[in-house]
Amino acid sequence: MKWSLSLGKIAGIKIQIHWTFILIILWIIFLNLSRGSTVQETTTAVIFILTIFACVVLHELGHSLMAKRYGVAVKSITLLPIGGVASLEEIPEDPKKELLIAIAGPSVNLIIAGILFLILWAGGRLTIPAGAESFQKLAESSFLYRLLSVNLFLLVFNIIPAFPMDGGRVLRALLSLKMDRVTATSIAASIGQILAIGFAFLGLLSNPFLIVIALFVYLGAQFEAQQVRTGSILADHKVRDVLMHHYTPLNEHETLAKAIDILLDGQEREFVVLDDEDKAVGILTRDNIIKALNERGKEVSISEVMNRDFFSPSPADSLKDVFQKMQQQRFTVLPVIEEDTLKGIIDMENILEFIQVQEVLQREVPHLKRII
């Protein structure tokens, strides 16, 4: 993730904080001082926030170390103001592995809470209060008490059985033991969305912050269901199934003015650039064209402004792999090459169209048949 500050490595995993996280710390210092807190109180508040985020890092390390055990590469853990993100290379589709990876995060908070409980109990400082009012008091009391309650909150929040929470993955993994993954995801996502509507309703009556969480859960569930459906469609196809033969190639020696003429005279927006031997040497998108026009004027040669840094899949490549690589590297168009010959082009929006069409065509297969 860009704009992040690296804090070092744990077990080969980069730990980094996003710059917006610094803003949160500054904001807390500012709020405390402007409310008339002493320097000591303010320092305690900052240390408390940092400790919470250390617990979040440990939570993400839980997921990451379990993932590494199953051979999944983990690039980094990034701290954002809204929580932590572990960049796993890929979440295993094997339900048992996914279950254990998902459950490893909240388990860490359970262990931390257990240790804090033992420390407080051993010190004789533990009198378990009852009821919500006393919970409020608990939260206002000592540093360790508050840390205990934060870890219990992280535990409960993360086991909500809805995407994008860990609980959603646990539920999907459990359902996957009985049915195919697309159906399991779709059921888990529906449960998540029903829960989200419940949260939103509760939020309307009590804390409006719940409405924000509800929206987050609802969209997360929808996104996950869509991702898995899309992935299952792409896995069944090769690059040749989305190959486009109807396109206008640009020549690298032409001017940007020529590219603009073609852009404005038709619906094409993404172009492959060829040299005089009809070999693909670059790609040029609408955004590149507008940017280059702005910076270099329309008489500049296409070869000077095109993107030379691209890859060329072959028709037999897996569509799922190529699509993932296009997403990661933000390519919207690519030439497809076989035995040194340009076979056609593929583009991101066209692949999305293909997915839409396939979704409709596959719906003709009775849904129940796939569940049973």
Query: Cβ closer to a copy of itself: 85 or 244?
Result: 244
- Are the C-beta atoms of 342 and 277 separated by less than 8 Å? no
Shortest distance (Å) from residue 115 CB to a copy of itself: 36
> Which residue, 262, 176, 258, 182, is CA-closest to 225?
182
Give catalytic residue positions: 60
Query: Cβ closer to a copy of itself: 68 or 298?
Result: 298
Shortest distance (Å) from residue 208 CB to a copy of itself: 10
Shortest distance (Å) from residue 168 CB to a copy of itself: 28
Query: Cβ closer to a copy of itself: 6 or 307?
Result: 307
Shortest distance (Å) from residue 49 CB to a copy of itself: 17
Which are the contacts of 186, defined by CB distance < 8 A and separation ≥ 6?
225, 228, 229
- Are the C-beta atoms of 296 and 305 separated by less than 8 Å? yes
Shortest distance (Å) from residue 241 CB to a copy of itself: 9
Structure tokens at 312: 């060329």
Q: From CA 250, how far away is CA 155, in angstroms rounded? A: 56
Q: Is beta strand 270-274 parallel, antiparallel or unpaired with respect to 250-251?
A: parallel
Query: Cβ closer to a copy of itself: 262 or 337?
Result: 262
- Are the C-beta atoms of 40 and 81 separated by less than 8 Å? no
Helix, strand, coil percent values for the chain (each to nearest 5): 60, 15, 25
Q: Helix 95-122 vs helix 166-176: angle between axes, to the nearest 10 degrees?
A: 140
**Ordered alpha helix ranges (H), 141-180:** 143-158, 166-176
Query: Cβ closer to a copy of itself: 139 or 290?
Result: 290
- Are the C-beta atoms of 260 and 288 separated by less than 8 Å? no
Q: Helix 143-158 vs helix 95-122: angle between axes, to the nearest 10 degrees?
A: 160
What dihedral do alpha carbons 293, 296, 300, 301 form, nearest 10°? Answer: -80
**Interface residues with a copy of itself (CB under 8 A)?**
27, 34, 204-205, 242, 244-248, 260, 262-270, 286, 290, 293-294, 298, 347, 349-350, 353-354, 356-357, 360-361, 363
Residue matched to tokens 């009012």:
133
Shortest distance (Å) from residue 344 CB to a copy of itself: 9
